[in-house]
Structure 1
Amino acid sequence: MIEAELKARVREPEALRKRLRRLADEERSTYRDTYYDRPGRDLTTAGRELRVRVVEAGEGRRTVLTYKEPAVDAESGSKPEHETDVADAQTLDSVFRALGLEHLVAFEKRCANYRFTAHGRGMLATIVTVPELAGMFIELETMADEADVSAALDDVRAVLHELGLNDDDLTTEQYTDAVMSVRGRTEKAPPGRA
């Protein structure tokens, strides 16, 4: 499946939260993301991503391994995504390092998630703040097969408009690039990295 997703800068956070709370309950969580690559940045250069995410929500904690293939839609950066729950981030880190991978970047995302149905699709809206970055973002996604990505993105865009955002709010700025820039690193992540 492909994560058909658009991201936008949030200019009116409270108005947006109010609209989203009418659609779904808010689920707050913290994501601790670590992206991996080979020393030559082969994965990054090819538009691939390998991420370990630790999700903390309330008293719960889970670890998710994600591999993303290169983007199938250049404008949005939507990618085929393969994800599975795993038992332990530390063990994965040890295995990846033993295989020659290294950290590309690690950072924290503070999220408020809203799951709802719109335009006949399951949607996930996530309001995101990254402590190192200025401002707030919304990510809106739905899952689609490759033949349906364009229509899915049209539906995602329509829901963003219904939530009070417009096309001028859309951004392709990637958290990985922005965090590395703030830290003064020169590596660049590929388009479509969220």
Structure 2
Amino acid sequence: MIEVELKGYADDSVFERVREEFRLIRREYHEDTYYQHPCRDFSKTDEALRIRIRRFNGHFEAFLTYKGPKIDSVSKTREEIEVQINDPDEHARILEALGFTEVLTVEKIREKYYVEKGITLTLDEVEGLGKFVEVEALTEDKRKVPELVEKLKKILFDLGVTRFERRSYLELLLGRAEDETP
């Protein structure tokens, strides 16, 4: 599956517009722990491997997710392979036994909204980074990516987003840590 995604910086007015214009699906708490491959530098190959713990409405879900390199120069579009897991701690132990090392855990509160069939929008409050808005569509057809990117970009522009971000929350947090290192 190809995840077509655009992300922008948001403020209270963008959050308010989304809450007024779209239907809330649910509010979630995410804890995303990222891992580094023992033989391949994901920061150089533009890949990611994470365990996500998602809590909502008293429920708990966990996923192991691989994200491939971005496939265009505008969006965060990339192949995504995700499987549900029952015990994130045991899966983390397996990864570590195979030589993977934990990089960082990203924590965020996410509100997920329905835009139209196949398109969702999320409001993210990321610990240590602030507020963001993401709009996402999934496709199996790589040829549809440019058309979807334009459609998603228009949605964000219409919400008042003026500054876009291709880097992941992990990259932003790691960059911030580097900037703060003396």
Q: Shared topology, TM-score over 0.5?
A: yes
Which one of 174, 179, 186 corresponds to residue 173 of structure 2?
179
**Equivalent residues, number:** 179
Calculate percent identity across the aligned residue pairs: 26
Runs of at least 5 residues in structure 2 that lack an aligned partner in the other structure: none
Indicate the residue corresponding to 2:128 in structure 1. Answer: 132
Partner of 2:61: 62
**Contact 2:33/2:102 (<8 A) preserved:** yes
Q: Could you say if the C-alpha distance between residues 60 and 92 of structure 1 is closer, same or farther in structure 2, counting changes exceeding 3 Å?
A: same
Q: CA deviation at 1:174?
A: 2.8
Give the equivalent residue in structure 1 for 2:10: 10
Give the distance between the partners of 1:42 and 1:155, measured in 2 at CA: 33
Alignment RMSD: 2.0
Structure 1 residues 4-36: Cα deviation after superposition (integer angstroms, max 9, x where no partner): 11111113x245334444321251111000111
Q: 2: CA distance between counterparts of 1:126 and 1:46?
A: 26
CA distance in 2, matches of 1:95, 1:48: 19
Query: Cα deviation per residue 1:94-141 (whole Å; 9 max; x = unaligned)?
Result: 000000000121120111111230xxx5211111111212x3100111
More displaced 10-residue stretch of structure 1: 168-177 or 59-68: 168-177
Contact 1:53–1:63 (CA<8 Å) still a contact in 2?
yes
* Cα distance change on mapping 1:158 and 1:103 into 2, 3 Å: same
Alignment match, 2:76: 77
Deviation at 1:56, TM superposition (A): 0.7
Partner of 1:191: none
Instruction: Summarize the Cα distance change of 1:21–1:92 in structure 2 as closer, same or farther, 3 Å threshold.
Output: farther
Q: Cα 1:128–1:155, aligned 2, differ >3 Å: closer, same or farther?
A: same
Map of 2:93 onto structure 1: 94
Q: TM-score with structure 2 length normalisation?
A: 0.88
The letter for the 2-side match of 1:50 is L
Opposite residue 95 of structure 2, the aligned amino acid is: F
Residue 159 of structure 2: aligned partner: 163
User: What amino acid is the match of 1:28?
Assistant: R
- Which structure 1 residue ranges, 5 or more long, are not aligned? 187-194
Give the residue type in structure 2 aligned to 1:4.
V
2:26 aligns with: 27
Residue 37 of structure 2 aligns with which residue? Answer: 38
> Structure 1 pair 158/175, CA: closer, same or farther in 2 (3 Å)?
same
Find the partner of 2:150 among 148, 154, 158.
Answer: 154
Q: 2:45·2:69 contact (CA, 8 Å) conserved in 1?
A: yes
1:48 paired to 2:47: yes
Structure-2 change in CA distance of 1:92 and 1:10 (3 Å): same
- Deviations along 1:132-166, whole A, 9 cap, x unmatched? 12x3100111112211110010110111122232x
Equivalent AA in structure 2 for residue 158 of structure 1: K
